[in-house]
Chain A
Amino acid sequence: MVNGSPVVEGFIEAINLIVTLNPQVVEITIRSLYVSLTATFFASLVALPLGALIYFYEFRGKHALVSTLQTLYALPTVIVGLIMFLLLSNIGPFGFLRLLYTPGGMIAAQTVLIIPLLMGLTVSALSGIDRDKRYTITALGASRLQTVTTVIAEARFAVMSGVLLGFGRAISEVGAVMIVGGNIRGATRVLTTAIALNTSMANYSMSIALGIILLSVALGVNVVLSLVQRR
């Protein structure tokens, strides 16, 4: 592989790996989707109601809380990985769950990682709804519950794009899943950690193949995102 251009040859071999549905590539892709989709689901379950709560309730420190959330958009993945590793390790407070080095642990780590992002984006999505609209709804005699449901219904596409962004962040991160998952072949190896490993083993074609898939997933998310935003 050292002769010729490793990039071109790697690329050709990569296409071959994808087209022939190489079992290893398929397995890693499915696991990656499974872990990140599940994490996005759980994070949404927690973050969307909390985000709505923050938007609809006025309380002191709200501004500071929203700023904190926005800061945590950039929460470094390795730090989440480190903290979750210490929590989930056998001698850590949640060691009894035996989640370290399992897909469950990776899901937990990615969930923690994207919760601030989803909460913050939910708040901004709801804030994006015209304030006048909200007052009009109330003025028209809607009950508080009706106001809340109407505003949420109005903001659903913006909230959905927040969720897609969260998914994009989860599936593309490598720091947390590497530390918490351990990159175990056939158990916790996902697209990003497999790319890191195969690059370190100089299997560039495998890395390129997995990279193409990861980019396609990101592209797919973006296409859906723009479709949603156009609505």
Chain B
Amino acid sequence: MKTNVAILSAGAVSILFILALAIGCTGTAPGGNETPNATTTAPAAGANVLKIATTTSLENTGLLAELERVYENETGMDLQFIAQGTGQSLDTARRGDVDLVLVHAPALEQQFIDEGYGIDPRCIAYNYFIIVGPKEDPAGIKNMSAVEAFRAIYIAGTNKTAGVVFVSRGDNSGTHAQEKALWKEAGYNYTEDILDSGAWYVEAGKGMGDTLILANEKKAYVLTDEGTYLSFADRLSLVPVITESTELMNRYSAIAVNPAKYPGVNAKGAADFINWLISDEGKQLIGDFGKAEFGKPLFVPLYAPECTQPPFNCTCAEPVPTPA
């Protein structure tokens, strides 16, 4: 009988949420246990935990682990990075599930701020997107600008030129947003002209590292941030084809979640972390990251007044106000 089933399942669900409550009270304790060397065993999630939604390109380079190590040693704050695409990160922040975002898609960031969810944006660093591809360069795009190259790849791909494949992130990440912008500049409508236009266009639906590995297997062209490419280069047979193109500037920003929208967020922790990122110490750490391992830094920190001028047009030096 339906009612019995309903009663039983209602019972099960209610028991479950009582349990969930119980877990909620105890669930944070083990988190403290797992970091025995932390100076403070966090009494409860809150003031000592800072949740940051960020991009896979930052996670995959290893920069986040380095920032986490140094910052946690200095302050005792527990940084928790959740690596998603930029689109998903901003959405996670819109839901109030994190305290801060570290992302790289200026247009999406502006929208996030305009909607009132994000406050105190500060640009931190930049590098360049690059187009990597097979050494043979079947679409012949070497020495082109990024937009010309996209046009050439599209024409070669839709004409079924042998060996021309383009792998897209396809996950609404910052890199994907950049790719879509390039298709637009090249004169194509992304949803009509590019999507489902043939076997040449492959949507990975994964993070930057995964996408590079996939492109490597398929010997395909792929748009990537330089940092992730350099940190994966020793495992890839793909080579950079287009590296210097001003259209490919890639700027990373930190934005705090507006506590007026979500009073539960760790606003002070977010402000402190942003101020640390834009401090000389934070910038030096970012600027030095990868020098030893890859022979060149993966990120270039932004300093005033350079950051306030084109093509950056952002704020990078003024400290953000720290809430009480």
Contact = CB atoms under 8 A, between A and B. Distances in A.
- A and B pair up: yes
Interface of A: 1-2, 27, 30-31, 34, 38, 42, 45-46, 50, 54, 59-61, 64-65, 68, 89-91, 94-95, 97-105, 107-108, 111-112, 115, 182-188, 200-202
Contacts of A112: 16
B140 interface: no
Contacts of A99: 20, 23-24, 27
A59 B2 CA distance: 11
21 contacts: A1-B234, A42-B23, A50-B11, A54-B8, A61-B1, A61-B4, A61-B5, A90-B96, A90-B264, A98-B45, A99-B20, A99-B24, A101-B97, A104-B26, A183-B83, A184-B80, A185-B65, A187-B78, A187-B80, A200-B210, A202-B213
A50 B15 CA distance: 11
Contacts of A185: 65, 68, 80-81
Nearest to B2: A61
Given A108-B19, A201-B60, A100 B97 contact: yes
B24 A97 contact: yes
Given A184-B80, A186-B34, A91 B95 contact: yes
Contacts of B82: 101, 182-184
B96 A91 contact: yes
Contact of B5 (A27, A30, A65, A101): A65
B210 A60 contact: no
Nearest to B46: A98
A91 B4 CA distance: 31
A104 B234 contact: no
Contacts of A200: 56, 60, 206-207, 209-210, 213
A90 B264 CA distance: 9
Interface of B: 1-2, 4-5, 8, 11-12, 15-17, 19-21, 23-24, 26-28, 30-31, 34-35, 45, 51, 56, 60, 65, 68, 78, 80-83, 95-98, 206-207, 209-210, 213, 232, 234-235, 262, 264
Contacts, number: 121
A89 B60 contact: no
Nearest to B13: A112
A108 B51 contact: no
A91 B95 CA distance: 6
B6 to A, nearest CB: 10
A113 to B, nearest CB: 11
A202 to B, nearest CB: 5
A104 B23 contact: yes
Given A103-B27, A202-B232, 9 more contacts: A90-B96, A98-B24, A99-B27, A101-B82, A102-B31, A104-B28, A107-B23, A185-B68, A186-B34
Contacts of A59: 1, 4
Nearest to B18: A46
A84 B60 CA distance: 27
A108 B264 CA distance: 21
Nearest to B51: A101
B93 to A, nearest CB: 10
A183 B264 CA distance: 22
Contacts of A104: 20, 23-24, 26-28
Contacts of B78: 186-187
Contact of A42 (B5, B19, B98): B19
Given A46-B15, A61-B1, A183-B83, A31 B232 contact: no
A137 to B, nearest CB: 26
Given A103-B31, A104-B24, A200-B213, A184 B4 contact: no
B95 A187 contact: no
Contacts of A184: 51, 80-82
Nearest to A38: B23
Contacts of A31: 30, 34
A106 to B, nearest CB: 9
A89 B27 contact: no
B175 to A, nearest CB: 14
A108 B25 CA distance: 13
B203 to A, nearest CB: 16
Contacts of B30: 31, 34, 103
Contacts of A54: 8
Contacts of B20: 94, 97, 99, 104, 108
Nearest to B15: A46
A94 B30 CA distance: 21
Contact of A1 (B31, B206, B235): B235
Given A30-B34, A97-B21, A102-B31, A90 B5 contact: no
B290 to A, nearest CB: 15
Contacts of A107: 23, 27
A109 B11 CA distance: 17
A104 B44 CA distance: 12
A40 B30 CA distance: 17
A107 B20 CA distance: 8
A104 B307 CA distance: 42
